[in-house]
Amino acid sequence: MNERHTILIANRGEIAIRIMEACRKLGHAFVAVYTEADRQSEHCVLAQQWGGALFRISSYLDANELFAVADASGATAVHPGYGFFAEDFRFARRAVQRTRKLQFIGPSWQVIRELGDKINTKRLARKLGVPTVPGSDRPITDDLEAEAMAESLFAFQEEVGVKRPVVLVKASAGGGGMGIEEVDDLGKFRAVLRRIKNYARRQFRDDGVLIEQRIFDFNHLEVQILADRTGKDPVHFGTRNCTVQSTGRQKRIEVAPGFAPTTLRYAFDARKVLDDITDYSLRIAREVRYDSVGTWEWIVSPTGQPFLMEVNTRIQVENGVSARIARIRGQGGVDLIAEQIRTGLGAPLGYTQKDIAFEGVAIEYRIIAEDPDNRFAPWVGRITRFAWQPQPWLSVHTHVPQDRPYEIPTDFDPNLALAIVWGKDLSEAKARGLEFLSQLELEGVSATGDPLRSNIAFLQRHTSDLLVF
Amino acid sequence: MDVKEILRRLHASPYEEISVRAPHCGVARFAILDTGARVQGPSGTWREKPGTVIVRLEREGAVRPIEAPQGGEITFVAAHKDGTFVQAGEELARIRHFLTKEEVLHRILREALHLFPAPEKGKYYFTPDVDIKIKAKGCRSLRVEEGMELFIFSRMKRETTLRYSGPAGIVYAVYFAGGDSVDAGAPLIGVCAEHELPAIEDVVARVHGEWEEEAWAAS
Amino acid sequence: MDRDRRIQELSIRLRYLQDIFLGEHNPDVELLTTRFEELCARVSDLSADEAARQIKTLEELFGFLERKLERQLSPMHKVRIVRHPQRICLKDILENVYDNYTEIGGQDEYSIDPSMLIARAYITRKRGKKTYHQPVMVIGQEKGHGQEFRNGGSVKPWGNAKALHYMKVAETEGIPIHTYIFTPGSYPIEDYPGAAQQIARNLYEMAGLKVPIVAVISEGGSGGAEAIGLADTRIMMSHGYYSVISPEGAAAIEGRLKEGERATPELIARCAEALKITADDNRAMGYVDWVIHEPELGARPEHYAFFRKLRKAVIASTDEIVLEVSNLRLFRSWALKRHRGSDVLDVYVRWSLDAAAQQRLLWRRYKKYRRMAQQAYLEERYFFKKAVTQVADALAGVYSYLRYELLGRHQKKVTELAEDVHAEMQVVMSRPARWWKRLKETLGLKPEAAAGLVALSAWDEGRGQDGWRYVSPQAKHDRAIPCPRARTNGCLDQWAPDLFGDFAGVCRFCGHHFPMEYQWYLHNVFDPGSITEFFADVESTNPLKFPGFDERLAEAKKKTGHKSACMTFEARIEGIPLMVAMLMAAFRGGSVGAAEGEKFIRAIERARRKQLPFLAYVHGTAGIRIQEGVNGVIQMPRCTLAVRRYIEAGGLYLVLYDTNSYAGPVASFLGCSPYQFAVRSANIGFAGRSVIKETTGMDIPPDYHNAYQALARGHIQGIWDRREIRANLLQSLKTMGGPKLASR
């Protein structure tokens, strides 16, 4: 089992660095890639410093480049990180089906495909009795059927006491916020339906729509799952709360665990909600024989009703915040990326749910060069100073070098760093978080001489009411 | 802007060095292994015939020919990489492309004239009185200055007048024809200050008279 | 003076001979050349009598050797004869065959197309003291003895459109049409109305023209000839040629020449021989009705006797057509007999037709072409099997008549009545129903909405990303495929299993359609298991014994497992049955010969009998199969006649072009459909790039034949994504065409 692999890291920045660290820890060689725009990125420096091969490619999004580099460098496995090819079942399939095979460190391509289809996931959940957002679970093409669905959704919301019932009409082939409209009045439904169908037909050549209840004021929770290649006995690494987001629904702060029932008061049984979503998530993982790390995304309504949104079949940015509060057989320092690589290469998990315990509260801040007051507009320029006080309760993941100025590449989101703060309870974690944010030194200047804009004030402002619902 | 200086500079190195780089990773197989080889750029009425193949890059079973973007002489070729895996962006060859008269004139005028660009994509016309003047006596009879109503901008049959802004001078070149659709940012006219006119005309005449094109470079 | 004139004439005759026998060392031509030069050298020294005597001797020698050379004429010589500037042309015919005429298509170069000449002419006949002027519409290509602006008789699309216009005028006026074919081929440009599309339109309209049409062929160059050639009687001049392609064109294909290369004269001559292009060959194969003999070495303007002969021929042919279809049957046969025995100019036959005769004329025309080319394909003719098929077909016809014509109409009424009653009931019933609903609500019996909103719904649609029922063998290679449009669109290379498996051969970035095998369409367009093949026994053969073609044909059959390039089958889409003729690119480039044409006709006849929609799916066609010569070309009028008959019977004829579709088929039975669509990235055209360059000298842009260009020019009606063919066909079946379809 302990054969030495060479792992191609098909990603950049912070996650590339963390994968390199995990490879070193596990004793595997690695190959890093970079593009022209990323020449200055810390992941290139570290790759060479840590003895990995480094290849320049034309684009992180060209699979051919990655496979060509894999062959040229003798890689035996590929880690996709997050984004790019992480949830592309075709990439995963090509890795394992090509003549010179590569192990894909992530779920099997069949699992990625099955859970990558939101409609399929919703139907799977319903089949297993897992709660989903009320509404259709298949594309509706018939106008009368759509109208009947909308009508009963309004009736249902009134019945359960929703003050302002709203129905969502989505193009079933759409995604990423495109082709979605809200309807708050059944009288307007026809017109909206017609509009979305026309849009969908033009855009996706498929005029099927989904009709769902719009849930307001919800909390966004996640369940971290891990399983080995056997797909048997998946375990969970607890829950996270990712409710603090930008206007574009991008996460900014993640907290583990998902609620704090011992510290805060909730209008519902928060302990039970966390247990329920964990159980439901595991139920689906078992059903599909999930065989890697993955995240089950949930929304929880103000009355404590959870609904499954989707499954992310990849390691997530915020994996570290769950790892930070976890202990396996009493040992801290859990590294989910290393666990993903270890099990992805065929090693058995080696522990069960009973061996996993949680301690304290962790908060992850995403430090980004952006202007929260201006719809989170990205800021581009040169980082001239980036420093913080090391603390035993703090870990910072960044690809921004601290010893030299760094030009933010314009091709990617201006993420600068992830900072994870731990405390024995919520109040200690919050206090330490504020302490870190206030001491953080971050300076920069744009080409036009404007000073750097960052979301630090936004993060500080949201720290006080974390996990309050 | 000293046009004579531009011309002197162009005369000193009447060519442009074009670097041919690997657009992506792959195993390089060179079709040209010697420096001094002559290559041709794309040709044909629609530039539909690709230029001379310099190297072929094979990646994942697909072979991509890398052709010369311009005609010229190969001054460097990474022959030692023949048959090896190259990374994206590696320099594979360099071409010395000799400038044609057209290109030289174009460069000089681009540098020496003040170009007034189209602010938006649309159709442009000269205002009627300007148009008459240009048609009768040629564009160099037209003196423009800041704020002068010079163009009519037309889009979707809605017309607005457009004022000239920039240094005062003579319209030396017109880059559009009435009724053509012009892209935003493309130059409409090139203006030169009156006192520079003789110098520019002199240089243009000299380019026409003296500039020797490499026979094959123009082909 | 007489001496000079006679020498001048001899010099013209000699030059003509030298032109015809160009490039060969013909001893007779060389002898005449020597003798003529000798005579010229000494004639000034001779006395007048001696000179006259020697000239006469030489004239006799010319006459003798010309007769000898006539017997040596090869097909290639005939090609040179019809192309010679001294060859008679249409103006000569108008002057000498007709008694009076007015040119109406333009004047010399002041014409929309000077290569197409149109005239109203008349023929004067006398019976007793009475004089009759019989008007005729004369239409034909004009080569104009080498006039540059005539373009050698190569007609542009609008020239053919003009011809069609005046054919319709003739129909309105009820006068016969005489067409004269003097063309090396059509001018291959795509501008509206389109070379191919206009020929197709001409053929389709001629198939239904209710006046007699007589065609005379001198130079019958492929599609250009067909544009005015679908006639009731086809006369061919003995020194003419009628061919699927010029010998040079055939040689370019046979020799696999690249653009700019030239075939050797030997190869060209061999092709001319192999293509069986002469009048006698065409008469023997039944593609012309009779051959009119020309003077030795071909008719030239001074051969007045030939014009008289031609005059008789066209008059007699017109008479015969009229008599054969006229109403008085008894009189008809008597008149015909008498007619054949006498001088045509002494009798008078009225050339107008009544409605019944017009119908007989069209039926006669249909049958005439339907019977052609029967010897040019193979079929296992098991008598019993054939009889069974025929009976079954006849029964199907009777059934569909009963089912849809007789019963259908009544059933429709019954259905309508039932629907009315149902609607009425709903109005009556809805009031208590609403009342009941309200009552339930007040009682708190809410409908079980919640369950329907969160429970799993039934959905048995064929879902999943790999929804294609057929996976291309191209998807089985571990390699990346570059998109041909990557240069302009920046498409990344795609892995073959993704591209040809999941994406159905459609570039994920720019939508470019890579060619897919025809099997992909069979499996993914039609309902699974719904395909029933018909006429699979009709087999392509080598009717001209074209050298080396037997092997290539056998290879194609082995490779594809099909006996011809056309597969005809019945299939269903969402349960709606339709008849399909598919041209397969894998079999000899999808070229159309006698077998393919026959199958197409049988399929569309079957669709007509069973009242099914008809789809021509062109997976690719390179054109008419040149190795079959006129056996192939004749499929253009044959199939178009069948299409017309089908559409007039109320059928829906859809054409779908894929990959590359060119030349004859597009210029006839495909291009005449009112509903033509193309799969994206298809190319549609008349002639390929090199032929266009060769014949017009024009350089064409790279996307000249692209489907979008064809759409912009109005040649096709729409462009479909490959993955939506099924949905689009279904939509078409629901929204288009023929009222008499069984599916309606």
Domain assignments of chain C as residue spans, ordered by start: 2-72, 83-370, 473-514, 516-735
- Between A67 and C429, the more confident residue is A67
The phi-psi region of residue A113 (left if phi > 0; otherwise alpha if psi is between -120 and 50; otherwise beta) is alpha
Count chain A–chain C contacts defined by CB atoms under 8 A.
64
Does the distance separating the beta carbons of C493 and B60 come in below 8 Å?
A: yes
Q: Is residue B5 part of a domain?
A: no
For chain C, the residues whose C-beta falls within 8 A of a C-beta of chain B are 477-482, 493, 495, 699, 701-702
Give B58's contacts (C-beta < 8 A, 6+ positions apart): B26, B27, B29, B64
- Please say if the pLDDT value at position C400 is more than 90: no
Chain B residues with CB inside 8 Å of A35's CB? 88
Instruction: Report pLDDT for C600.
Output: 98
Whether C241 contacts C82, CB under 8 Å: yes
Q: Is residue B138 part of a domain?
A: yes
How many whole angstroms separate alpha carbon C236 and alpha carbon C245? 17
Q: What dihedral do alpha carbons A331, A335, A336, A338 form, nearest 10°?
A: -120
| Reported confidence tier of residue C418, pLDDT bands at 50, 70, 90 | low
Q: What is the ipTM of this complex?
A: 0.91
Q: What dihedral do alpha carbons C376, C380, C384, C386 form, nearest 10°?
A: -40
Do B203 and B107 fall within a single domain?
A: yes
Give the CB-side neighbour count of residue C672, counting CA atoms within 13 A. 29
Instruction: Report pLDDT for B88.
Output: 97
C446 and A CB contact within 8 Å: yes
Token reading at C40:
């010229």
A314 part of the active site: yes
b/e string for C269-294 if b means 16 or more Cβ within 10 A?
A: bbbbebbbbbbebbbebbbbbebbeb
Strands A235-245 and A251-256: antiparallel
Instruction: Report pLDDT for C437.
Output: 60
Do B112 and B87 fall within a single domain?
A: no
Number of domains in chain B: 2
Q: At which residue do the structure tokens 């984004």 appear?
A: A83
- Between C460 and C387, the more confident residue is C387
pLDDT in tens, C494-539: 999 999 999 999 999 999 999 999 999 999 999 999 999 999 999 9
CA-closest candidate to residue C718, choices C663, C652, C660, C673: C673
Report how far apart, in Å, the C-alpha atoms of C660 and of each of A308, C69, C686 are. Answer: 50, 45, 11
Find the closest chain B residue to C699 by CA distance. Answer: B45
CA distance B135 to chain C (A): 33
The answer to whether the bond into C473 is cis (omega within 30° of 0) is no
- Please say if the pLDDT value at position C468 is more than 50: yes
Instruction: Report pLDDT for C162.
Output: 97
The phi-psi region of residue C191 (left if phi > 0; otherwise alpha if psi is between -120 and 50; otherwise beta) is beta
Does the distance separating the beta carbons of C497 and A94 come in below 8 Å?
A: yes
Which residues sit opposite A364 in a β-bridge? A254, A420
Distance from the Cα of residue C121 to its chain's centroid: 28
| Reported confidence tier of residue B216, pLDDT bands at 50, 70, 90 | very low
- Please say if the pLDDT value at position B44 is more than 50: yes
DSSP for residue C153: G
B87 and A CB contact within 8 Å: yes
B46 and C CB contact within 8 Å: yes
Token reading at A456:
């630090």
Token reading at C163:
């011809």
| Reported confidence tier of residue C385, pLDDT bands at 50, 70, 90 | low
Percent of chain B having pLDDT more than 90? 39
Task: Read off φ and ψ for residue C129, nearest 5 degrees.
Answer: -90, -10
Do B149 and B66 fall within a single domain?
A: no
Token reading at C630:
């006129």
C653: how many CB neighbours lie within 10 A of its CB? 24
CATH superfamily membership of C516-735: 2-enoyl-CoA Hydratase; Chain A, domain 1 (3.90.226.10)
Mean pLDDT of chain C: 90
CA distance B57 to chain A (A): 11
CATH number, residue B65: 2.40.50.100
How many whole angstroms separate alpha carbon B175 and alpha carbon B116? 10
Per-window interface: B 72-101 vs C, CB < 8 A = none
B62 and A CB contact within 8 Å: yes
Q: At which residue do the structure tokens 């892995």 appear?
A: C495
| Reported confidence tier of residue B179, pLDDT bands at 50, 70, 90 | confident
- The angle that helices B101-112 and B197-210 make with each other, rounded to 10 degrees, is 170
Domain ranges across chain A: 6-105, 134-213, 219-463
Q: C503: helix, coil or strand?
A: coil
A270 and B CB contact within 8 Å: no
How many whole angstroms separate alpha carbon A426 and alpha carbon C529? 65
Domains C83-370 and C516-735 equal at CATH topology level? yes
**Pick from C453, C454, C465: CB nearest A113:** C465
Q: Which domain holds residue B116?
A: 103-210
- Please say if the pLDDT value at position C744 is more than 80: no
**How many helical (H) and strand (E) elements, i.e. helices and strands, does chain C have?**
27, 20
Chain C residues with CB inside 8 Å of B44's CB? 699
Alpha helices, DSSP H, located in A34-102: 42-49, 63-73, 89-97
- Please say if the pLDDT value at position C238 is more than 60: yes
| Reported confidence tier of residue B108, pLDDT bands at 50, 70, 90 | confident
Distance from the Cα of residue A387 to its chain's centroid: 26
> B84, B99, B114 — which closes off a domain?
B99
How many whole angstroms separate alpha carbon A454 and alpha carbon C562? 70
Distance from the Cα of residue C592 to its chain's centroid: 10
Instruction: Report pLDDT for C414.
Output: 66
How many whole angstroms separate alpha carbon C625 and alpha carbon C566? 12
- Please say if the pLDDT value at position B218 is more than 60: no
- Please say if the pLDDT value at position C569 is more than 50: yes
- Between A4 and C463, the more confident residue is A4
Chain A residues with CB inside 8 Å of C492's CB? 59, 61-64
- Please say if the pLDDT value at position B217 is more than 50: no
CA-closest candidate to residue B69, choices B45, B93, B86: B93
DSSP for residue C1: -
Do B66 and B143 fall within a single domain?
A: no
pLDDT tens for chain A, residues 1 to 469: 468 999 999 999 999 999 999 999 999 999 999 999 899 899 999 999 999 999 999 999 999 999 999 999 999 999 999 999 999 999 999 999 999 999 999 999 999 999 998 899 999 999 999 999 999 999 998 889 999 999 999 999 988 888 899 999 998 887 666 788 999 999 999 999 999 998 888 887 788 899 999 999 999 999 999 999 999 999 999 999 999 999 888 899 999 999 999 999 999 999 999 999 999 999 999 999 999 999 999 999 999 999 999 999 999 999 999 999 999 999 999 999 999 999 999 999 999 999 999 999 999 999 999 999 988 988 888 999 999 999 999 999 999 999 999 988 877 878 899 999 999 999 999 999 999 999 999 999 988 888 999 999 999 999 999 999 9
**Pick from C455, C461, C465: CB nearest A126:** C455
| Reported confidence tier of residue C425, pLDDT bands at 50, 70, 90 | low
Does the distance separating the beta carbons of C454 and A155 come in below 8 Å?
A: no
Considering the domain delimited by A134-213, tell me its CATH architecture. Answer: 2-Layer Sandwich (3.30)
Cα-based angle C539, C540, C543 (whole degrees, multiple of 5)? 125
Chain B residues with CB inside 8 Å of C474's CB? none
Do B178 and B95 fall within a single domain?
A: no
Instruction: Report pLDDT for C647.
Output: 95
Q: Is residue B2 part of a domain?
A: no
CA distance B76 to chain A (A): 22
Percent of chain C having pLDDT more than 90? 73
b/e string for A235-259 if b means 16 or more Cβ within 10 A?
A: bbbbbbbbbbebeeeebbbbbbbbb
Q: Is residue B1 part of a domain?
A: no
Q: Is residue B6 part of a domain?
A: no
pLDDT in tens, C73-88: 999 999 999 999 999 9
CA-closest candidate to residue C194, choices C167, C231, C223: C223
> B99, B130, B165 — which closes off a domain?
B99
CA distance A109 to chain B (A): 20
DSSP for residue B34: S
**Pick from B25, B85, B89: CB nearest A36:** B89
Instruction: Report pLDDT for C382.
Output: 64
Secondary structure (H, E, C), C427-455:
HHHHHHHHHHHHHHHHCCCCCCHHHHHHC
CATH classification (class only), C83-370: alpha beta
Q: At which residue do the structure tokens 């090693």 appear?
A: A347
- Per CATH, domain A6-105 is 3.40.50.20: yes
CA-closest candidate to residue C179, choices C147, C146, C148, C206: C206
- Check A18, A94, A314, A432 and give the catalytic one: A314
Whether C578 contacts C617, CB under 8 Å: no
Rg, chain B, Cα only: 22
- Among the four given CATH numbers 3.30.470.20, 3.40.50.720, 3.30.420.340, 2.30.40.10, the one describing domain A219-463: 3.30.470.20
**Pick from C449, C480, C723: CB nearest A155:** C449
DSSP codes of every residue in A223-260: EEEE--TT--S-EEEEEEEEEEE-TTS-EEEEEESS--
Does the distance separating the beta carbons of B48 and C702 come in below 8 Å?
A: yes
**Pick from C479, C701, C702: CB nearest B62:** C479
Task: Read off φ and ψ for residue C518, nearest 5 degrees.
Answer: -65, -25
- Please say if the pLDDT value at position C253 is more than 90: no
pLDDT in tens, C217-226: 999 998 899 9
| Reported confidence tier of residue B81, pLDDT bands at 50, 70, 90 | very high
DSSP for residue B195: G
Do B158 and B113 fall within a single domain?
A: yes
**Pick from C480, C699, C701: CB nearest B59:** C480
How many whole angstroms separate alpha carbon A173 and alpha carbon A399? 35
How many whole angstroms separate alpha carbon A161 and alpha carbon C444? 16
How many whole angstroms separate alpha carbon B166 and alpha carbon B191? 9
- Please say if the pLDDT value at position C568 is more than 90: yes
B119: how many CB neighbours lie within 10 A of its CB? 15
How many whole angstroms separate alpha carbon B202 and alpha carbon C66? 73
pLDDT (mean) for B111-117: 87
CA-closest candidate to residue C198, choices C719, C688, C666: C666
Q: B28: helix, coil or strand?
A: strand
Biggest CA-to-CA distance, chain B = 66
Q: Rounded to a whole number, what is the distance in angstroms from the first to the last CA of chain B? A: 32
Does the distance separating the beta carbons of C450 and A134 come in below 8 Å?
A: yes
CA distance A408 to chain C (A): 25
